[in-house]
A and B are shown apart, each in its own frame.
Chain A
């Protein structure tokens, strides 16, 4: 079965500093990959999704970017963090692309606090 690794688990960064969050997937190939953000007490906001290497779609215009340099690696980045970037970031993967009965599988998330 697939496993999603996210790191770091928690991160405290000053405003204006860069960001790099990494997500890797084991146990599958060619998954769809997703980055979600969850603000405190709020629902899930889809930030980016990827259907393959170097194929990234952005859902929300912002100062974040995503890259997928390898099939099972998905990176979320920022050049300069804002206070509003604070939140809980979740990586997810979707197996069996094209089949509606496939559930999303989530990593354990990264808690980012921008100070």
Chain B
């Protein structure tokens, strides 16, 4: 079956530091890949997505590239802000009457 593995948290960074959150996946077929963000007390919001190999999704300064050869979709941001503190979920969707498969989430804390 499908699975998503993302790095354990929490991750604590100083403001303006570089962020990488690793995500790898296993899936049949050609899934689409997603990053969701959950701010405290809220539901999940779509942050970015990529639908085929070598696609780069980007939003709010975050980027992730769909790497089929390494089955990875790592999330990066060049300079994090305190407002980026949240839990980040990597996910995949392989189509059909699909259930989206989520990673366990990585909590990011950015300190001033």
- A residues with a Cβ closer than 8 A to B are 4, 6, 32, 34, 42-44, 46, 49, 51, 59, 90, 92, 94, 97-109, 111
B102 touches A108 (CB 8 A): no
Is B69 in the interface zone, CB < 8 Å from A?
Answer: no
- B residues with a Cβ closer than 8 A to A are 29-32, 34, 36, 41-46, 49, 51, 89, 91, 93-100, 102-105
B93 touches A51 (CB 8 A): no
DSSP majority for the B interface?
Answer: loop
Closest to B91 in A: A104
Q: In the complex, what residues of B have CB within 8 A of residue A109's CB?
A: 41-43
A108 touches B100 (CB 8 A): no
**A44-B89, A90-B43, A109-B42 given; A49·B99 CB < 8 A:** yes
Q: In the complex, what residues of B have CB within 8 A of residue A100's CB?
A: 29-32, 51, 93-95, 98
What is the minimal beta-carbon distance from B67 to any residue of chain A, in angstroms? 17
Which one, B45, B97, B102, contacts A43 given CB within 8 A?
B102
B99 touches A51 (CB 8 A): no
A94 touches B100 (CB 8 A): yes
B95 touches A98 (CB 8 A): yes
A107 to B104, CA, bound (A): 19
B51 touches A101 (CB 8 A): yes
Closest to A100 in B: B95
A90 touches B44 (CB 8 A): yes
